[in-house]
Structure 1
């Protein structure tokens, strides 16, 4: 049985990491649309063994195995129980914690390779470690919470009041295609066993109608819903004991859909908000004295919502939208590395922790965007800026002397004695962007609490974590743990994808891998593969075998369950179409101002972009479409790679053709099971030709790419394991001729500068 308790509940009374925002008096009161407060939860007598981890990929199933109702209301224990499976035989396993000055205490052999300690700990916030064999001090592998004590990293536990009751999910069943949801919640009494106040129980979910059933004898609360429309709902549960003590509000985000969702089911689209679409001209405002190219240009939440409503993303098969940072940014100019003035149109100079940027719209406008996306079955990913803040940020004024920030700004990344490689974690990106010190518990709590606030209040579905390699590991591990324990009680799984900018070598893959895992990020943007894609298609370099070797490395380098995001472009690199056209000069940053590239006027760059998309949208993971790449928007370095998106009616014939071709590819990715979820297998490579398969049997898809300039045909063996025996006919979704398996092979027609997408 999968434990319904939070992951960190280790049999006894373990209390969740209680984040403390800097302005708690400003938090809205709990309700279906309100801030999710930090949970404080603990165990019950006769508790359950906690799972040792979770897979990084959202599972197919949307059902948690039902848990039988107890015969009486369970009660919490006041003991804090720790458990470790050291993974090797040892006769000495101990625990040491901050509660007594890190004195070692023996743990008990609990059998099955596990060791356990049950401690009576006073209320408090503690760092601790396990000690194996007397000298091997280890972090707790079961979760990602960390506390630095004397500069040393430790696991973290917060012990709260065991007399306060708690609420948890006992079972959650959302049957795809039925509109039926069946959820059971369990009230757990405090240690003093005051009993459940049945009249205090409240269960609501905006948009759903149901009458909760409450069993005062067992403390079981159930909600059964039928005929729910497709969309995302959040059950909100409150209860008190008979002494009036309230359990922390329980939030259970739940999706009702025709098919269980996986994040790799379709591409993710990066809508760079300020440059995507203007939907509300009444909020347009520029920062005085800044060139328009580096200023706010009018894109907003309403514009993204309009595109959702118009079906723009549906036509691209998009299943998730990544928004550039939504926080309020400074209204002051900032000097770039080129000495020019820039505004915070990009979102990476935040000044407020819990306020949207007025240039983009209100929180209500953001919620309207996410609601529209959810109605289309699209998830929304917010860009999380947790490495740095602007010097005018509210936290700088309140905590600049509290150790929340690294140094005084004298160590600027890339400056003298402060190289990017030597001091990546504590250098400042520039002198007006204080760098957050993630070893500081107060800062750690506040920034993670803010991230949870945004997920709840914006009703978002995931986070793109900026500048991962510039933060301590805890910035990712604690975030993953808190999201899982506070929000993932139902079938909503929150994608955490990181940005670690690297080169294309194996060292880059190793650095990216460092931050991925069961208690860390789900995956990251695959920069090493990006450079290989660019070399193969934009520069026409190497062979298709070289590209395949890079793809295989990416499949095997990031660990089991990693959900990576391959891409052709983003806001930090020059535009693909301009690279393919050979229009990028020797100084792209200066070129952005003095000689920005025009749209190509020949077919070649657009054909290369199409081939690159054919490869990209056939890859495992969550392929990313950077806004404008689908039409061949040109540009060199920042800010030129962030031009305003052209209206579809203003596209040239070549741009419209590319858009139509990308739509065919992306729509196929979103509808064909093999392309979405099937394993990838290379079938053929040569200098310019590449054939690979996704899936097997009726879900088989075969992608064929020819970047060469001549038409030809290649006989490609179809292994028996693909489940396509002789006589199997495959049609080309891109409009070319189909193929039939004969003698265990297919004759693939390699059209010059063309691609085919064969399916059963």
Structure 2
């Protein structure tokens, strides 16, 4: 048994209140720095500076770690898996940084060909670079041995410049744009998972954390307890029987309480986080972004409230789906005044771009060279003018004011990567932009990844900024963003095409926003398609608060839409996501978006992931919903997002299962004259959103997967004295599942609909109706 404080030695420093506040004021919490075994990696600690300049000093004698300016360089070429706790001096105060060395699995890629000259491998592990991982040729055999994270990977071979799936691998998956990727599953090489620490209960100034052991019975050997980056003195916490810990927070007014552990097998026990506000664990409130529910509106497609500003483009080649349809500010204002968004339970509106768009149609470069307009707002031709088809400036002012009066925030979609060729900036400052021609003569259009990620154009008429070569362009576009925020009292931005814009731009924008609007709690969420590592590289205090959580979305949408679902992989997906973004975060959880197939289309069986969603929009559009199960599948998917860390995002129309394909068919006009089935789904969305607002555990609680086999998923969220059990059945049959409840409780009360369970022991037998979800509440 571990006795109180008789624990493996930690380099704990004396906790002095003034020192803690100084350290907290110097740096934001630095997350666990993850380094793969065998690699050298540099981390920019300036991403966590609260002030523009912080003096850093590193004096420890570890030869594989060095500090060069603000760059912490870690060489893991000869380090085994495990973790280290190092100390860095920041403006004279010691801070602690945790480093985790990730185990890597060995794998050999091979490809046989008598005629191929070059073969490479591209995948999420190298951000789909076509040139980063060439194979070595030996006769007709191309091969290369690499070390990779022990998880499931998607990949393709690049054979003489042509992308191909692995002919020797029968396992493949849709790439979401009409093609396929091969699947490599290395999870069987992973090390056994450690136990976890869970928020048990809160009593007075003490927070109690219970240790749940791993399957191999390893016990905790030491704990590291920080507030932000400052280590707590041993007198501030006590160990509990069973390996848990209790922490006294009487001296902590604001900050992030972070508890890490090492178990008897040398593994890192995952970080447990608690946000402290005003001396208490954060609880549900409408002002904190952790409790936001975002509703995404495409202005032109939401509601036509003023027909006098309708000015569609007259071009016989322009399909009505790709033309302006009349949605405007007046329509949004009408729904605000009617209480639509409040009734739905959302508290944030994300408005699509509203800058002035061209008055003509344009033919896209990629075959079959369809004709489009700028109805969506992503082709700006003026930096600070509103498109008159959307409405007037005073109307947008009115929307923001009316939203704020109902405690609803407003974030605006901002386009920073590119402009339309009719934009005044291109006319007056051609040197701010790159060229569309590559050195080899190819057009650099939609070359999304690899060496062209930061230079590619979206089309011939959409020039991208060359920010690295034109710092003055960064200053100007940042000033434009600040103008929109100040002029309309915005609460944040949705940032477009994040990975195609350099980090220097995002740092400049975010720094300017914090200086100009210190009283605002600004939220910025970005869009990046790529690996979690790439997505996460933009999420830090110096850049963005969040991005869309595509790894959760892409790995869960198929399960929730399927008639033969299998949740067996979801535990690994959630664990990997937690490891990347932390147990508490502000990432955006979606069911659909304006770039993805409408969930209802494939849940209803009318479109497949492998289909070209754009082609289907024009040539073979989906019809009305045929299967009643589609509404239940949509409800289950949204309920899942409600249960997860991050911010649930509702793409307009999801609350009624609006049908659609890909772009532009996923942007059909919103309907408000709805059927009984659509009305019931909307009511379910409202009820679920209400639960998210009321129960802190859904946003902030520790998550445990209790059952994930076949069509059933049962998870538990625990936030000190509050527990929520969430059960999903995504099949057409009723399911009864017996599980062991991990905590003592006597009563589980159903939160939607009547019902409860009285418990005499930890075994519980749940009956879940077909295509349904249940939320149960228990209080310690």
Q: What's the counterpart of residue 432 of structure 2?
A: 404
Of residues 422, 436, 459 in structure 1, which corresponds to 2:465?
436
Query: Deviations 1:179-224 (Å, cap 9, x if unpaired)?
Result: xxxxxxxxxxxxxxxxxxxxxxxxxxxxxxxxxxxxxxxxxxxxxx
Q: What is the correspondence of 1:61-460 to structure 2 with a 5 Å cutoff? A: 83-89=54-60, 113-114=89-90, 259=285, 261-289=287-315, 290-336=318-364, 337=366, 338-400=368-430, 403-408=431-436, 415=443, 419-422=447-450, 423-439=452-468, 440-460=470-490
Q: What's the counterpart of residue 115 of structure 2?
A: none
Query: Deviations 1:81-140 (Å, cap 9, x if unpaired)?
Result: 9542144449999989xxxxxxxxxxxxxx983579xxxxxxxxxxxxxxxxxxxxxxxx
Query: Deviations 1:339-360 (Å, cap 9, x if unpaired)?
Result: 2221100000001111111111
Q: What's the counterpart of residue 645 of structure 1?
A: 670
Distance 1:604 1:260 in 2: 33
Count of residue pairs brought into register by the alignment = 521
Change in Cα spacing, 1:56 to 1:605, as seen in structure 2 (3 Å) is farther
Structure with the bigger percentage of strand: 2
Q: What's the counterpart of residue 605 of structure 1?
A: 630
Conservation of the 8 A alpha-carbon contact between 2:437 and 2:443: no
Q: CA deviation at 1:258?
A: 11
Conservation of the 8 A alpha-carbon contact between 1:317 and 1:669: no
Distance 2:400 2:750 in 1: 35
Conservation of the 8 A alpha-carbon contact between 2:491 and 2:523: yes
Of residues 522, 528, 553 in structure 2, which corresponds to 1:500?
528
Distance 1:755 1:545 in 2: 17
Distance 2:769 2:68 in 1: 66
State the SS of the aligned residue for 2:416: coil
Query: Deviations 1:295-344 (Å, cap 9, x if unpaired)?
Result: 11111122112212211111222121111101111112111334222110
Change in Cα spacing, 1:94 to 1:435, as seen in structure 2 (3 Å) is closer
Conservation of the 8 A alpha-carbon contact between 1:56 and 1:522: no
Conservation of the 8 A alpha-carbon contact between 2:357 and 2:380: yes
Alignment pair present for 1:552 and 2:581: no
Alignment pair present for 1:658 and 2:681: yes
CA root-mean-square deviation: 3.0
Distance 1:739 1:414 in 2: 65
Conservation of the 8 A alpha-carbon contact between 1:275 and 1:643: yes
TM-score by length of 2: 0.63
Conservation of the 8 A alpha-carbon contact between 1:412 and 1:431: no
State the SS of the aligned residue for 1:695: strand
State the SS of the aligned residue for 2:691: helix
Q: What is the correspondence of 1:427-576 to structure 2 with a 5 Å cutoff? A: 427-439=456-468, 440-488=470-518, 490=519, 492-502=520-530, 508-540=531-563, 543-559=566-582, 562-576=585-599
Change in Cα spacing, 1:751 to 1:447, as seen in structure 2 (3 Å) is same
Change in Cα spacing, 1:412 to 1:366, as seen in structure 2 (3 Å) is farther
Q: CA deviation at 1:50?
A: 9.3
State the SS of the aligned residue for 1:555: helix
Conservation of the 8 A alpha-carbon contact between 1:736 and 1:756: no
Change in Cα spacing, 1:425 to 1:82, as seen in structure 2 (3 Å) is closer
Conservation of the 8 A alpha-carbon contact between 2:26 and 2:54: no
Query: Deviations 1:280-301 (Å, cap 9, x if unpaired)?
Result: 2221211121332111111112
Q: What's the counterpart of residue 132 of structure 1?
A: none
Distance 1:412 1:589 in 2: 30
Distance 1:738 1:413 in 2: 68
Distance 2:674 2:622 in 1: 16
Distance 2:674 2:479 in 1: 43
Q: CA deviation at 1:409?
A: 5.7
Q: Which is further off, 561-570 or 524-533?
A: 561-570
Q: Which is further off, 421-430 or 385-394?
A: 421-430
Change in Cα spacing, 1:437 to 1:540, as seen in structure 2 (3 Å) is farther
Q: What's the counterpart of residue 770 of structure 2?
A: 752
Change in Cα spacing, 1:750 to 1:542, as seen in structure 2 (3 Å) is closer
- Unaligned residue ranges in structure 1 (runs of 5+): 1-47, 58-79, 97-110, 117-256, 503-507
Distance 1:511 1:334 in 2: 32
Q: CA deviation at 1:413?
A: 13
